[in-house]
Structures are given as structure tokens and as C-alpha cells.
Structure 1
Amino acid sequence: MDIKIGTAPDSWGVWFPENEKQINWERCMEEMAESGYAGIELGPWGYLPNEYKKLKEELSKRNLELTATTLVGDLTSDNKTNELLTLLDKMAKLQLRFESAKYVVLIDDCYTDLFTGELVRSPFLDDFEWGRFTGNILKIRDYAKSQYGLEVIFHPHAQSHIETEEQIEKLLRDTDINLCLDTGHHAYADGDPVAFMKKYHQRIPYLHLKSCDLKVREKMQQEGWSFAKAVSNDIMCEPELGVVDMKAFAEVLKNINFTGWAIVEQDMYPAAFDKPFPIAKRTREYLSAIGIG
């Protein structure tokens, strides 16, 4: 397998372009490199330097490659979709300067408020809403391809309109969009990422690796926690520690000869500034030990 292992600002507790609870970008990038990763996602637009010369310099001196950018928004809304296209225009001007960064990871906004847990949209879409939703996904995908030659891949996410295996399979049937499979979010929604990867690997060119602690999920459900509170209690955890059979997942990757990027993207927010680095090092060593990268 020729798998490259990367990471993302999310694994350092970064959810926003600027936030007093987040580690500064210089320390974040330095620890990413020291942990042994080969590439990084850009993360929230405006967190890492977004001027080409500066970003190129910071990546090069740490021997890191840029792998992808990310778009997150309410894909049930035509207006929000148009806002995402405007952001895509801004990011693409930078992204196209890096040959290694071929992907745009597209995520539907949560139907709950991240911090209060309140419903802000219906969790379910009727046929008309589903058609608009998938149409907006393909609109972004087709625009990125035609205008910039970038591949948009859809990332199923907890508490969004594509979270369960049933919903993901419907998306795969109804569209030709490819996926970013996130092993932790897949397990959160009671999916089996090992079996799913084996079945649908031809539609999955890019991975997010982490696991999920179902004991924390149980407490979340019992006490009505928001997703952000569950994240702060480590619902998404190191690959070695959660419900995902990562050794079996590695075996699938070997059998299908997976050659894409696998990004360690362990949701944390907020994170004490000294928390992410040892986790990142342990995770990198563990993945290497089981034959992933």
C-alpha cells in the first residue's frame, strides 16, 4: 500500500478561524510535523496562513504537503450553497498552487446547534428536500471540477442529513459523488466502517481516521448533551481506543491496495494546548504499527 498519512487542525482542537480556546497556528503546524505526518488539511479558512507565499514557506520548512480544503454549510439551502461557492472561489485560488491538494471535503451542517444541542433543522428530508439537497451537492461538485479541476468528496457527519449507512447508501445510489469516509463518524451512527470500506471502496478515494467511544455516546444520549459537549468529553477518540476495528480496517486497505491520503482527524474542541501533541504521536505510531502508512 502506498498510503500517505496526514492530519488536520481539528486534531489540535481547531474549529474556527480565530478563537481564544485554540492553539496558535505556528505551534499547531510544528507539532503536526514533529508527530510524523506527511500532509495536512487547511482546516477553517483563515486559521492557517491563506496567502500562498507564506503558506508554501511554512509547509516546506516542515516537509508537509497540503492535501485538501473543507467546505461546511447547510446544503438544504440554495442561498447557503451559493455562499459555499463563493468561499470555494477564494480557497481554490490558493489550493490550485499546491499540486498535492486535489480534494475539497464537503460537509453538511449539523441539524442541531453544536453547543446547545437544540434542533435547528429537521433531521429528516422529504423527497423534494432530498432532491434539492443532492442537487446542491452536485452543483458544488460540478462547479469545482469545471472551474478548477478539483474533486469534491462528500463527508458523512454525525447529526447531519447524511450520517447513517442507510443515508450514505441512498446518496451513493442517487448521485455519483465520491466519499470521504470518516471511520469515527461512521461508527457514531452505528455503521461498520470495515464492511462499508470493503463494499464501497471504489467510491472512497480519501479517508478520515479516528474512532468513537460508544460509552461517551451513551452518556451523551442519556443526558442530552450537544455534539460539542460530547466532543469535549472525547466521544471521538484515538484509533486504538474506540469501537472501530482498526486492524481489520487496515487489512481491508491492504486487500484493496488503497493508495490515497488517510487523514487523522480526531475531533477536539476545546482542547488544552498540551493535549493534542502526545495523542497525535501515539496515533501516528499506532497506525504505522498496524500497517497503515
Structure 2
Amino acid sequence: MTTSVPASTKASSVAGENPGLRIGTAPDSWGVWFPEDPKQIPWERFLDEVVKAGYTWIELGPYGYLPTDANQLEDELGKRGLKLSAGTVFTGFHKGEEQWKRAWDQALDVAGLASKLGAEHLVVIPDLWRSDATSEVLEARTLDDEKWAKLAAGHDRLGKALLEEFGMKQQFHSHADSHIGTTREVLRFLEETDARYTNLCLDTGHFAYYGGDNVKLIEQHPERIGYLHLKQVDPTLLFDVLKNDTPFAEAVAQGIMIEPPHGIPDLAPIIEAVSKIDSEIFAIVEQDMYGCDIDYPFPIAERTRKHIFGCTHFARVN
């Protein structure tokens, strides 16, 4: 069976040019999960350390962490030479029609801000069946057919509205402790959604969390890969986490997302496989480290960037 290749890739291949993916980072790599938390690094210091670590592209992070005034944020990023790749919202479309207002209200804020700074992507994370704040079990771990239909329809509706209103692309992020995490669940999600409106932010760590093969998914569904989050899982700790049914937030505190190159999957083959699809795709380092000391993330961020640029030629800063 042959796989179609986007025109942009064909053009690059003919010209013999493939600059590689744009590598960036995110507030998550500095332990930021919430708009306000006294233990989190101040946003000014975060931006300064991003520059010092050698990155140009960043994500918005939780709405309200970075300045929400577009002019102020543009000034703060501009004076540091930083650019915005995406924002993030959270959805629970499987729960019912009332979830539309919640999702769109977030989109009006996040996409409204991010699009003004040139970002073209909105990363969408599904609600977890187990709280990442309290570890409380909130609902069943799996969806029935009716809830699957609601979830898929909601995301296609959101993706269409984002394109029409903001010119932004929806990139769905499978997640540990969510209803979309295993390979089968991700594949079903792709089958039930429309590629015109809903594609993947493939998070390499979260997909590997449940044993997913990132490169295989990329090669089998290249047309559905719109964005990357780069992270690695500690393969030794992972078996304990799964055996003991450890909540994701507790697993993060134990160091389940580990500094590259000490975990899985290898990042170079993933970056190279995606760069063959479209070298304009972003690859954003996003190492979950919520709850860490504020002095802890910077050296890891710097070493991670050096590792990525040292393990593959298909990576670029801009």
C-alpha cells in the first residue's frame, strides 16, 4: 500500500532540502501546570531562562500564566526574540452538549490571544478520568459508543470553528489517565474524526506511556500528524506506575517523565520521520515536572536542547 505525501514534502525532496523541524519548549518543562501557583517559577524568569537555554519557540502554557494582554505579551516575547507556536485548552466533549460552551469560552481567550501573536495551532487536551490535582477518580476509564460519538463530533466542531474564526488548527493531545491514551484509542479517535478539522499533537511520552510506537503511528498516519510534543518516559519506573495504578500526577512527582536521553522513545527517529512529512511542523519539548524546585528545570532544558541538536540533523531553532 502506498502512502500519499504532502505537496510541501515533495517539493522539499525534489529540491534536496529538508531543514528539519522547529524545536521549541513550553512552560510545562519548567514545572508550570496552573495559571497561578506560588511554587511555580515566575513567568519573567521562565522567559529569560528559555532564551538562556537556547530556544526561540514557546507555547502559551496555562492561560493566565503569561500575560494575557496581547500587546504586553508581544513586547515581552519580542524583546527576548521569542515566538509563540501554540496555546492549549481542555475539553470534555464526551460528557454532553453543555461542554461546547466551556470549550469555546476557553478558545475565545486562548486562540484569541495566541492568534494575535501569530500562533497557528491550538493543542487540545481531553479531560482526565482521574484528577491530576487530587488523584480522585472522576468517571469510568473507558467510553461507550455514545460517548465516543459525542467526543468525536465535539472535536470536529471545535476544529472547524477554530479554522473559521481564528485560522488556527486543532491538534489533539492523547494523555495518560485520559480516555484517549492507548494505541487502539488513538486509532479509533482518528477513525471517528475528520482530518480537515482534527489532527494530532503527538506527545511522544504520553503515547509511549501506554506502550505506543510513535514511529509506527507516524508512518501509518502521516496525514494526521500536525504537531509534536517531545518527551521521554522512564521505562523502569513505568512498569511500577502501571502495576500499582499510580495516578499520573503522582507518577510525575516520582519522575516518570525523564530527561532525554535516559528514557523512551528515542527522539531522533521521531523527529526525522515527521520532518519527512512537513518540515514546518513544530516539535516542542514538554517534560512534565510539576512540583519541582524552581532551580531544577533550567539545566535540564539546556541539556535537552543540546541532546536533540546533537542526535539529529533534522532540527532547527527557527
TM-score, normalised to structure 1's length? 0.95
1:31 aligns with 2:45: no
Of 158-167 and 251-260, more deviation after overlay is shown by 251-260
Q: How many angstroms apart in 1 are the aligned matches of 2:235 and 2:35?
A: 30
In structure 2, list runs of 5 or more residues that go unmatched. Answer: 1-17
Contact 2:58 2:83 in 1 (8 A): yes
Deviation at 1:216, TM superposition (A): 1.8
Deviation at 1:252, TM superposition (A): 2.1
Deviation at 1:81, TM superposition (A): 3.0
Partner of 1:185: 206
1:149 aligns with 2:167: yes
SS at structure 2 position matched to 1:271: coil
Of 70-79 and 269-278, more deviation after overlay is shown by 70-79
Of 44-53 and 136-145, more deviation after overlay is shown by 136-145
Deviation at 1:116, TM superposition (A): 4.1
Q: How many angstroms apart in 2 are the aligned matches of 1:116 and 1:17?
A: 17
Partner of 1:90: 109
Match of 1:12 among 22, 25, 30: 30
In structure 1, list runs of 5 or more residues that go unmatched. Answer: none
Partner of 1:197: 218
1:226 aligns with 2:244: no
Superimposed CA distance per residue, residues 62-114 of structure 1 (whole angstroms, 9 cap, x where no aligned partner): 11101101011322223233112012112233222222x00010110111122
SS at structure 1 position matched to 2:93: coil
Superimposed CA distance per residue, residues 172-203 of structure 1 (whole angstroms, 9 cap, x where no aligned partner): 11112211100000100110112212222221
What is the Cα-based RMSD across aligned positions, in Å? 1.5
Match of 1:252 among 268, 273, 280: 273
User: In structure 2, do the counterparts of structure 1 residues 250 and 68 end up closer, same or farther at CA, with 3 Å as the change threshold?
Assistant: closer
- Identity of paired residues, percent? 39
Match of 1:287 among 295, 305, 308: 308
Superimposed CA distance per residue, residues 101-135 of structure 1 (whole angstroms, 9 cap, x where no aligned partner): 00010110111122443321111111111111111
* Count of residues in correspondence between the two structures: 292
TM-score, normalised to structure 2's length? 0.88
1:64 aligns with 2:82: yes
Of 41-50 and 218-227, more deviation after overlay is shown by 218-227
How do residues 39-78 of structure 1 correspond to structure 2 at under 5 angstroms? Answer: 39-77=57-95, 78=97
Contact 1:187 1:243 in 2 (8 A): yes
SS at structure 1 position matched to 2:236: helix
Q: How many angstroms apart in 2 are the aligned matches of 1:164 and 1:216?
A: 18
User: In structure 2, do the counterparts of structure 1 residues 180 and 118 end up closer, same or farther at CA, with 3 Å as the change threshold?
Assistant: same
Contact 1:214 1:243 in 2 (8 A): yes
